[in-house]
Amino acid sequence: MESVSSISAVSAPPPPPSLSSSSFYSHSRAQPPFTFLRNFNPRMEPLRSSSHVDATAKPKEAKLWGGRFEESVTDAVERFTESVSYDKQLYKHDIMGSKAHASMLAHQGLITVSDRDSIIEGLNEIERRIENGEFNWRTDREDVHMNIEAALTDMIGEPAKKLHTARSRNDQVLTDFRLWCRDAIDKILKSMKHLQISLVTLALKNDGLIVPGYTHLQRAQPVLLQHLLLAYVEEIERDAGRLVDCRARMNFCPLGACALAGTGLPIDRFMTSEALGFTAPLRNSIDAVSDRDFVMEFLSANAITAVHLSRLGEEWVLWASEEFGFITPSDSVSTGSSIMPQKKNPDPMELVRGKSARVIGDLVTLLTLCKGLPHAYNRDLQEDKEPVFDSVKTILGMLEVSAEFALNITYNRERIQKALPAGHLDATTVADYLVKKGVPFRTSHDIVGRAVALCTSKNCQLLDLTLDELRSIDTIFDQDVYEFLGVENSIQKFSSYGSTGSACVASQLHYWTKKLEIN
């Protein structure tokens, strides 16, 4: 039998499909039986090129797995278990995996080169038909895999029946799943970088602007706005790092693990793994088809990102209120009220705050789903896809609208500057002044506390106290204390690495503009 020396018969893996039109494959996914949920579609957006799923009544086709069955499944069971209505979006990943598998089978002498060529040619034609909206998706064929395999059999006959050699839907679905998650992470990472660029751009536009820093939502110390915005950039960088780590751990190939025990046929799992861009095959066939820890990790990373975005949203919602008045969103990122004509609401960021609950819930769904399952595959695992669809769709939307909002807000400098004197934001800097004069910090803390109490009784700021008034509290005060009073002086005194001092923030900005390649 003729063999091939490489996997060249497999066309180079196509560019990752647009994640906004992708969905996960599962070999047995539940579809809610309720009429109002039957057409629920968790995809990120409709696939323009795919045709309608044919659910019309017709004689039932024998299932590819139905050899030992004497009866067909009922209509209710078929409706409940079909998944092609949404997992058809995974067709590119499924076809990629099948091409790699067919080429490996030919290389190992398990099918002929002629069979391999027929299979790949047929799969190419099926892909073309799907993308042109000419493919007939059938619910009685259950899912994307069975639709493609059955259509391939209709098209090329016997060679198609050899494609499933040394492969189960268990390892096939996990291969598709990992490929989709890998592509999803790449898309999210791009959106994260876009948000970081938007935040750094916003920081660059507001050079030198001092804002109140808060703890317990009470005024604490003055900070540069740039410093505050860069805090979110740092958080998103760690979010991206979690996804990069997650991607590296998930990038191992289940294909060839079969149902759970592997196969006695002489396959080459390293060949298919390399062809699909994986690091290596998974070492243990049971682990390959039964664990979903890579999905839990993915959803956990998304949930942490969602919390960070929710906190950013909360801050902007607060600052856009009349009570703060620190920012004004443009009309292009605001909405109005149906009854109150004067309203201008920062609804996009309120929804960012709200949608974080969905992403957190998706993680909880996966954790709960998997917590009681014995090894290896269980039908429950068909429920692992939809939370991922929702998490990816939601986090991409949150990242996109947060970046859009950042590019369409104005900080109200005059309002912020008028608000700065309130709260004695320079008190800690004055305490540092006393420490530099040799006063123990706890003592200096008490001295400045008494100075603030005097200001409260006089309804003035620390900067307004005369030197005599300060010396009446403690004689250690001298004329040079006024170099530490006021928010502008206070900002200049911060010098520790990573602080809000002007020089420190300039260094941080330089780092991020270089890293993000911002001119």
Tens digits of residue pLDDT in 141-194: 888 899 999 999 999 999 999 999 999 999 999 999 999 999 999 999 999 999
pLDDT at 32 over 80: no
Neighbours of 115 (CB within 10 A): 20
Do the domains 418-516 and 170-413 match in fold? Answer: no
Distance CA 462, CA 464 (A): 5
Assign 513 a pLDDT band (cuts: 50, 70, 90): very high
DSSP tag of 345: B
| Rounded Cα–Cα distance for residues 125 and 113 (Å) | 18
Q: Alpha-carbon Rg of the chain, whole angstroms? A: 31
Q: Which pLDDT does position 33 carry in this prediction?
A: 38
| pLDDT tens track for 438-468 | 999 999 999 999 999 999 999 999 999 999 9
- Nearest Cα neighbor of 386 from 87, 48, 148, 54 is 87
Tell me the backbone φ, ψ of residue 231, rounded to 5 degrees: -60, -40
According to DSSP, the β-strands at 409-411 and 327-329 are: antiparallel
In angstroms, the CA 354 to CA 348 distance is: 10
Tokens coding 269: 């799992």
Residue whose structure tokens are 């099926």: 126
CA-nearest of 227, 207, 21, 60 to 141 is 60
Q: What are phi and psi of 121, to 5 degrees?
A: -65, -45
Q: Does pLDDT of 8 surpass 70?
A: no
Q: Taking the model in full, what pTM does it have?
A: 0.84
User: Nearest 5 degrees, angle CA 402-CA 241-CA 91?
Assistant: 75
Q: Read out DSSP for 69-82?
A: -SSPPPHHHHHHH-
Rounded Cα gap, residues 70 and 194, in angstroms: 56
What confidence tier does 4 reach under pLDDT thresholds 50, 70, 90? very low
Average pLDDT over all residues of the chain: 87
**CB of 307 within 8 A of CB of 299?**
no
Report the alpha-carbon distance of residue 83 to residue 394 in Å, rounded: 21
pLDDT at 333 over 90: no
Helices (H), 381-494: 386-406, 413-419, 427-436, 441-458, 467-473, 487-493
Domain spans in the chain, listed from the N-terminal domain onward: 83-165, 170-413, 418-516
Query: Which of these is catalytic: 216, 332, 338, 496?
Result: 216
Q: Which of 6-20, 310-324, 362-376 is predicted least confidently?
A: 6-20
Strands 210-215 and 218-224, bridge-based pairing:
antiparallel
Cβ–Cβ under 8 Å, residues 67 and 150: no
Domain 83-165 is found in CATH 1.10.275.10: yes
Which residues are bridge partners to 211 per DSSP? Answer: 223
What's the rounded Cα separation, in Å, for the pair 347 and 470?
48
CATH number of 170-413: 1.20.200.10
Find the length of the chain: 519
Structure tokens at 445: 């803390």
Percent of the chain with pLDDT over 90: 75
Q: Among this protein's residues, is 216 annotated catalytic?
A: yes
What are the tens digits of pLDDT across the range 406-423? 999 999 999 999 999 889
Positive or negative torsion for Cα 40, 42, 45, 47: negative
The CATH architecture of the domain made up of 418-516 is Orthogonal Bundle (1.10)
Cα gap 345→402, rounded to integer Å: 15
Looking at per-residue pLDDT, the higher value among 346 and 264 belongs to 264
Judge whether 180 and 24 are in contact, CB under 8 Å: yes
Do the Cβ atoms of 152 and 141 come closer than 8 Å? Answer: no
Distance CA 232, CA 299 (A): 20
Grouping H, G, I as helix, E, B as strand and the rest as coil, residue 337 is coil
Q: Which residues contact residue 247 at a Cβ distance below 8 angstroms, ignoring those fewer than 6 apart?
A: 182, 185, 186
Quote the CA–CA distance of 457 and 343 in Å, as a whole number.
Answer: 38
pLDDT at 35 over 80: no
Neighbours of 516 (CB within 10 A): 16
Is 60 exceeded by the pLDDT of residue 23?
Answer: no
SS3 content of the chain, % helix, strand, coil (to 5): 60, 5, 35
First to last CA, the chain: 60
- The more confident residue out of 4 and 389 is 389
Catalytic residue, chosen from 6, 330, 337, 495, is: 337
